[in-house]
Structure 1
Amino acid sequence: MTIRFGLLAFPGVQQLDLTAPYEVFASMDDAEVHLVWKDTSPIVSATKLALQPTTTFAECPPLDVICVPGGVGVNTLLEDADVLSFVRKQAAQARFVTSVCTGSLVLGAAGLLKGKKATTHWNALDFLENFGAVATPGRVVRDGNLFTAGGVTAGIDFGLTIVAALRGREEAEAIQLSLEYAPEPPFHSGLPEKASVEVLGRTRQRLAGSRMARQAIIARLAAARHGAE
């Protein structure tokens, strides 16, 4: 039976958040993978890579797996009614509801994280509780049919985890081997607790602008919710 995947492809997406799980999903036998956006005009990722959506919100078929990647473009999505409506609609009937990196914040804004364990990029983990989630550090965190992945490169681990859940470990391992996924990073500073003080400070400074903008948006969303109560 064909498994239908849909990944949100939006302006400012972190391309590896999208392309890493895409590569894994597309390598699975009998898989149909869609890149979904409001229209099919090319979009530009956070690192200026052009990507081509393959279907629109209106034309997207029901998905077995919906995945929301992260990136600086997430900030706009948090207040985009069309995006949140689409995510909620697909999530209501999907087998798995998923995200990579800060894409989990979009799931939160869509009301899909309440009472759920979830993760995201380390620099945004503290935002999850604003959406009623139980912030849980981890490479891939599962809570029922909800799968959330940590920052950027976790998308490969996440993709393999999803394949294993759908088609079994042997299929996932065959894809892992075909991709020669056997990471041996040249440095060991991929997590805040492993990085030097200098590297951590430099990285926080690099990410500060997007974090401040995101913080302001989440504060507005919280104020709107409280005002509606």
Structure 2
Amino acid sequence: MLTVQIVLFDGFDLLDAIAPYEVFCAAAMNAENALSVEFVTADGPRSVTSGINGLNIEASGRLNPERAGIILVPGASGDVEGDGPGSIPAILGRAMNTELTGMIGQALGQKDIVVATVCGGSLLLAMGGLLEGRPAVTHHLGMNLLGATGAIPVSARVVDDGNLVTGGGVTSGLDVALYLVERELGPRIAHAVERLFEYERRGTVWRGTGMAPDTQNAWTGDETNIAGNKAPMTYGTPVNKITQVSDFEGDWDTTIATPVGKLQVKLSISTIDGMIQGTATQGGETVEFMNPVLQDDKLTWLMRITKPMRLNLKFEVAVGGDHMTGIAKAGMLPASKLTGKRVS
């Protein structure tokens, strides 16, 4: 029997979870109970509060990352703008910081489990560092953020990367579930569910097989991000010419206020042979600045962080004496405020 575990977390989006649940239940009716589906959480049976009007859904079990079958992770419902505790990034960040990330990582290592996501569910996994280098899709508002995590954004309704199947915006949960029913149980069962729901699956499922399109002559811009499995962000050498002594040189203690918590980061900035160099140390990990540029009295650079989530951030800072102020930005996330002081 094919088992489906739909994972709930506080703030989940109702349609992301309920639409696939209904599809899988209908498939079970048409397949003589060859499929079972249940709601689970990372911490066991409980009432889970959705992000839509606080509606509660009962989860009947604990997620089992070793059980063969399908594990489906929905997205969140919350504030699209702002960085408050009710914002979608904050909700996803709280879910990411539970046992769920480790469990999904374990499931992805099993050969007989398919992990599926709907809407922001792929962001939840990506922010936990689970989708780096893998093609995936999310809600169109989160595609830049998905790319900032190191995943490869693909503008498709459904993306099939073997043991990872991701869906786009909220209603794509129908398409993800119908596709998985067809893939696992066959097209006749999937067709029966489509007829029952009076709904036809939308779009071509993207897979990394077959001929690649000619990107030089393509008349859509989306394919350039996925041709050759290349990530949407590229970086040059981390050095740039400057013409004057930089007020940014020295060691700095900085704090970055993100939607999911504060980061304490130590920066070390220097110029060698007229070229800017810098490193950032956070949580015992030191990384080099990528593409540092001094322009219009502001220093900008790109940097990868791994805590509290895995992201490529763009920094833009200015200094006044021994004080530094600026922002760090990644995709749809609100710009995070950076403050700091020179310590040497």
Q: How far off is 1:91 after superposition?
A: 2.4
Distance 1:63 1:218, change over 3 A: farther
What are structure 1's unaligned runs of at least 5 residues?
A: 184-214
**Structure 1 letter corresponding to 2:74:** P
State the structure with more CA Rg.
Answer: 2
Q: Distance in 2 between matches of 1:224 and 1:108?
A: 11
Q: Show the 5 A alignment for 1:192-207.
A: none
**Structure 1 letter corresponding to 2:25:** A
Q: Show the 5 A alignment for 1:19-34.
A: 19-28=18-27, 29=31, 30-34=34-38
**Structure 2 letter corresponding to 1:66:** I
**8 A Cα contact 2:67 2:113, kept in partner:** no
Q: Distance in 2 between matches of 1:100 and 1:120?
A: 7
TM (norm. structure 2) is 0.52
* Structure-1 residue corresponding to 2:8: 9
Q: Which has the higher helix share?
A: 1
* Structure-2 residue corresponding to 1:36: 40
Q: Distance in 2 between matches of 1:142 and 1:53?
A: 27
Q: How far off is 1:39 after superposition?
A: 2.8
Q: How far off is 1:143 after superposition?
A: 1.6
What are structure 2's unaligned runs of at least 5 residues?
A: 77-87, 202-257, 264-281, 283-303, 311-344
Q: Distance in 2 between matches of 1:43 and 1:21?
A: 17
Tell me the matched-pair count. 193
Identity of aligned residues (%): 30
* Structure-1 residue corresponding to 2:74: 69
**Which 4+ runs in 1 deviate beyond 3 A?**
215-222
* Structure-1 residue corresponding to 2:189: 171
Q: Which of the pair has the greater relative contact order for Cα pairs under 8 Å at 6+ separation?
A: 1
Q: Distance in 2 between matches of 1:152 and 1:223?
A: 28
* Structure-2 residue corresponding to 1:92: 109
Q: Show the 5 A alignment for 1:62-211.
A: 62-71=67-76, 72=88, 73-80=91-98, 82-93=99-110, 94-181=112-199
* Aligned-residue CA RMSD (Å): 2.6
Q: How far off is 1:141 after superposition?
A: 1.1
- Structure 1 residues 5-31: Cα deviation after superposition (integer angstroms, max 9, x where no partner): 111111110000001111111222211
Q: Which deviates more, 108-117 or 15-24? A: 108-117
